[in-house]
Amino acid sequence: MIARHDIDDVDETLSAIVNEAVETIPGVVAGGISVLEHGRISPRIPTNTTIKELDELQSRLGEGPCITAAVDPADDGVIVAEDLAEPPDSERWPQFAPQAVECGYRSMMSTQLSTRTSSVHTSLDMYSPTPGTFDEAARMTAGLFGVQAALLLYGAEHAAHLSEALSTRDVIGQAKGILMERFDVGADRAFQMLVRSSQDTNIKVVEVARWLTRDSTRRQTRQ
């Protein structure tokens, strides 16, 4: 745990991490870290007052990407809202989505920083006015900044777990790219193919992805 007298230094460093993430990831204009404890979100170092208000709104409504990322994330720990003005995102968070759009934000990405067993859940949240901002490169970049924030908040052991999750995300991204090129399909369809293979073989998605990337590498070396 972080000592109380170190909190100001920690917040200053976290603020620098969030600001650099906002400046680095194309299309992102705002961000922050959400802390979810006892069912309530506490905004931490938001880059503007609107982000603080949107975090507090999610807390009141009990829905939104920040809450989903903190308590029920995807396997890679990332929740992406491609377009809050359109289904499926507008239907997934029906109360929060129109409010976010009204504030000028069409897409969001929340990266989980805490483990599933943590009593306090945290996420790194990025906001964009443009739909479809968060591609694979953006997810990976946000993940790297997330590792920095987790290291600061939870220490090296936890950050190592997050780094492992980031590695998992990377290999799944590589496998999706292989399927997209091989079968001329989009990213969503490629991921569905991975999931279907996982279900058919009773093997984890990441293991299917690793097999696919190894197989692709072997094919290339034979050519």
What pLDDT, in 10s, does the model give residues 135-146?
Answer: 878 887 887 777
Domain, as residue range, for 129:
4-154
- Residue 123 forms beta bridges with which residues? 34, 112
Q: What is the CATH number of the domain that holds 128?
A: 3.30.450.40
Whose structure tokens read 């991204």? 173
Nearest to 17 by CA among 126, 116, 114, 103: 126
pLDDT at 109: 93
pLDDT at 82: 94
Shared-domain flag, residues 94 and 121: yes
Neighbours of 93 (CB within 10 A): 22
pLDDT at 88: 93
pLDDT at 140: 77
pLDDT at 54: 95
Q: What is the CATH number of the domain that holds 179?
A: 1.10.10
pLDDT at 116: 53
Shared-domain flag, residues 28 and 59: yes
For residues 203-214, give the mean pLDDT.
Answer: 79
- DSSP label at residue 5: G
pLDDT at 188 over 70: yes
Boundary-marking domain end, from 154, 179, 204: 154
For residues 186-208, give the mean pLDDT.
Answer: 76
pLDDT at 184 over 90: no
Query: By percentage, how much of the chain surpasses pLDDT 70?
Result: 78
User: How many domains is the chain partitioned into structurally?
Assistant: 2
Residue 32 in tokens? 């922050």
Boundary-marking domain end, from 154, 179, 210: 154
Q: Is residue 119 part of a domain?
A: yes
Whose structure tokens read 């997810």? 139
Shared-domain flag, residues 86 and 175: no
pLDDT at 9: 66
- Across the chain, how many H-helices and E-strands are there? 9, 5
pLDDT at 3: 38
For residues 210-218, give the mean pLDDT.
Answer: 76
Using DSSP, state whether 51 is helix, strand or coil.
helix
Using DSSP, state whether 38 is helix, strand or coil.
coil
Using DSSP, state whether 124 is helix, strand or coil.
strand
pLDDT at 129 over 60: yes
Give the integer Cα–Cα distance in Å for 42 and 161: 24
Boundary-marking domain end, from 154, 185, 205: 154
